[in-house]
Structure 1
Amino acid sequence: LAEHPDVGEVHRLESRRRPYWTDPRQWRVVDWLRDRPPGPVYVCDDLQRAALRRLLDRAGIPADHRLFFDDAELAARRHWFDRLADMAVRLPPAWAGTVEARPPAFPDQPTLIVPGSALVDLAQWRAERGLTGQIVLIQPGNKRTQRHGRFRSDHHKWWPIENWAQTITAVLESLPEAAVVLCGAPSEQALLLAIADQCRDRRVHACGDQLPMLRLMALANCAHSMIAVDSGPAHIAAALACPSVVLFGAAPTWLWTPKAPPGVPVVTVGGEPDGLDRVDRIGPDRVIAAWRTLAGRIRT
């Protein structure tokens, strides 16, 4: 987000639960908030509202300068994007009635910008790996499907390795000139290698240790398509107009389905609409059939 033209400064908190006195990042955020000119503070978080109120108290932000989600908003069956868009046109109490309400013209989906430097970096990376043709992205992991370096097959977002291998084999049968890039964080590389080993195909590349965020964005910006569990990279790909199939477990699709530009298909499989609360109850044939409905992109 630091490269986005609508973003000013980015201050990252590693954990919302870490005690304040042990976390220098929280100290820096409090100092920055205390030193900034008076203005509205929007808190776009639903899980740790009490902790964030305490952080704002430390920074001396008056209560009427803050805007949080209320319980009624969080109880409504509305997508996160729509909730945030609604919040953006509201004002904290201190400014209520002081300016004319002019709802901005929001797009219907998140807008991500891939900087030119990331495109140059991606071109070099692809050349080094010989990835000259179409690429299908696979995102099999989620931060909750691993713990302390071990696979968590009991988690509702877990899909067995053999299912991923069967799906990838079908993709490459349909697109024999393509390559499959297994995406994930460095901590997920063991899972990606296990899937690649099961595939036994040189066209399958496990790249969890080679995809920093900007490179992943640039890759999603040009990929043929993506198959992913419900995860952050699935949202990135959809926002960058990558046709996608997303596997859902217990998370509600009405809240978390990735948003894409008009005309770009995002097909969800599993979840509440299918009466499923675990990804491992989805058969590979369903995912393969869903992927084959995607037009994909000719861009490489």
Structure 2
Amino acid sequence: MIMLTALLSLLHKRYRLPCQVIGTGSWTSAIYQGNPDVAGVWSFHRHLPFPLDRPWSSVRRALRDSAPGPIYVCERHYRQLPRIRRMLRLSGVDGRRCVFIGSDTAAQPRIDGLVNLGAVTPPALRATDYPLPAAAALDGPRLHVLAAERAERDAWLQAQGWYGRELILLQPGNHRSMGPRRARWRRLNTDDKWWPLERWAELLHRIHACRSEALLVLCGSPEEVPMLEEIRAAARLANVVVASTGLRQLFALCESAHSMISVDTGPAHAAAALSLPLAVLYGAQSPRYYLPRSPCGSAVVGIGGPPLSTRVDQLSVDAVFEAWRSLGAAGASRGP
């Protein structure tokens, strides 16, 4: 959903109206808060039939009222597409208003595929009426932090005694480590994004030796706090702390940090979209397709992934540390 902000920026400029976003998951609205390219957001539950979900009546009305405007469908998953087509049909949407992302974009970097989708004109409209913006005008992926959130962040940092410190963020977890089956994933060692805790601890020591005054912040959800505390205990460094934040709080923290090291997960894309220099550890997915991108060109370095490796635990501490060091001057402190 963070990558989608690049497409939303293009569509806003092209059609001269902010977009209405329909998605799934409780975090969708939080991602687009403060985004000038978004006029409204509706979020459905992933596993509840959409006619029984609360947003359905509003979404059906919005789809009808938006005629003859374009509808861009960014979903490729074979299980979700029939659901989307039923939603459009029950809303009485003219199929000529719709553009679906094609299977041919699977070979492109995900962000490029989305931007190229925005260049397609629905059959119901004339392309000459909606010229594409100049490439230099395109923006994103980009997230927006509100002034009130910055004030709340600064107050929180002051309360913790961390205000004014250089912050280096580390994100060891992913959706599996915060899910209800996280203990099973760990016991069976079937999570391709899992990096052994002792390597995180060793990495913390390497970073501390390089930037001894920096505060090393282990980030994660409340469900991941026990795992983060294990890493902190293994590192046995006073400058290592654990921070469990909400999504918007994490965005504000990224905005003021020095750099981030993360496995391939949503917070990595958030960090890049907030122009935070970033090193990303890859498992089975390839950075060729899923490497986060910064709106201002801040450094993003991918480590591992096919064809070099297929699991994060195949990556050495040396490789991750050197990738972080390569961020170099791009990681100049941006803190308050």
TM-score by length of 1: 0.90
1:244 maps to 2:275: no
1:195 maps to 2:228: no
RMSD: 2.0
Q: Give the match for residue 285 of structure 1.
A: 318
1:13 maps to 2:44: yes
Residue 71 of structure 1: how far off its partner (Å): 2.1
How do residues 69-88 of structure 1 correspond to structure 2 at under 5 angstroms?
Answer: 69-74=101-106, 77-88=107-118
Tell me, in whole angstroms, the C-alpha distance in 1 between the residues paired with 2:62 and 2:69: 13
Q: Give the match for residue 333 of structure 2.
A: 298
Residue 107 of structure 1: how far off its partner (Å): 3.4
Q: Identity over aligned residues, as a percent?
A: 35
Q: Among residues 137, 140, 144, which one is paired with 2:172 in the alignment?
A: 140
How do residues 85-96 of structure 1 correspond to structure 2 at under 5 angstroms?
Answer: 85-96=115-126
Tell me, in whole angstroms, the C-alpha distance in 1 between the residues paired with 2:204 and 2:177: 20
How do residues 1-300 of structure 1 correspond to structure 2 at under 5 angstroms?
Answer: 1-15=32-46, 17-47=47-77, 48-74=80-106, 77-97=107-127, 99-105=129-135, 106-107=137-138, 109-132=140-163, 133-148=165-180, 150-151=182-183, 152-153=185-186, 154-208=190-244, 211-273=245-307, 275-295=308-328, 296-300=331-335
Residue type at the aligned position of 1:161: L
Residue 29 of structure 1: how far off its partner (Å): 2.6
- Contact 1:157 1:279 (C-alpha < 8 Å) held by counterparts: yes
Tell me, in whole angstroms, the C-alpha distance in 2 between the residues paired with 1:297 and 1:50: 47
Tell me, in whole angstroms, the C-alpha distance in 2 between the residues paired with 1:108 and 1:116: 21
- Contact 1:238 1:244 (C-alpha < 8 Å) held by counterparts: yes
Structure 2: gaps (5+ residues): 1-31
- Contact 1:89 1:104 (C-alpha < 8 Å) held by counterparts: no
Residue 277 of structure 1: how far off its partner (Å): 0.6
- Contact 2:284 2:305 (C-alpha < 8 Å) held by counterparts: yes
Decide whether aligned partners of structure 1 residues 182 and 29 sit closer, same or farther in structure 2, where only a CA change above 3 A counts. Answer: farther
Residue type at the aligned position of 1:73: T
- Contact 2:256 2:334 (C-alpha < 8 Å) held by counterparts: yes
Q: Report the secondary structure of 2:176's partner residue.
A: helix
Residue 202 of structure 1: how far off its partner (Å): 3.1
Residue 149 of structure 1: how far off its partner (Å): 5.5
Question: 4+ residue runs of structure 1 moved beyond 4 angstroms?
Answer: none
Decide whether aligned partners of structure 1 residues 102 and 32 sit closer, same or farther in structure 2, where only a CA change above 3 A counts. Answer: closer
Residue 138 of structure 1: how far off its partner (Å): 0.6
* 1:48-100 superposed Cα distances (whole Å, 9 cap, x missing partner): 222211111122212111111122233xx211111111112222111145625
Residue type at the aligned position of 1:253: P
TM-score by length of 2: 0.81
Residue 35 of structure 1: how far off its partner (Å): 4.2
Residue type at the aligned position of 1:196: R
- Contact 1:20 1:27 (C-alpha < 8 Å) held by counterparts: no
Residue 113 of structure 1: how far off its partner (Å): 2.1
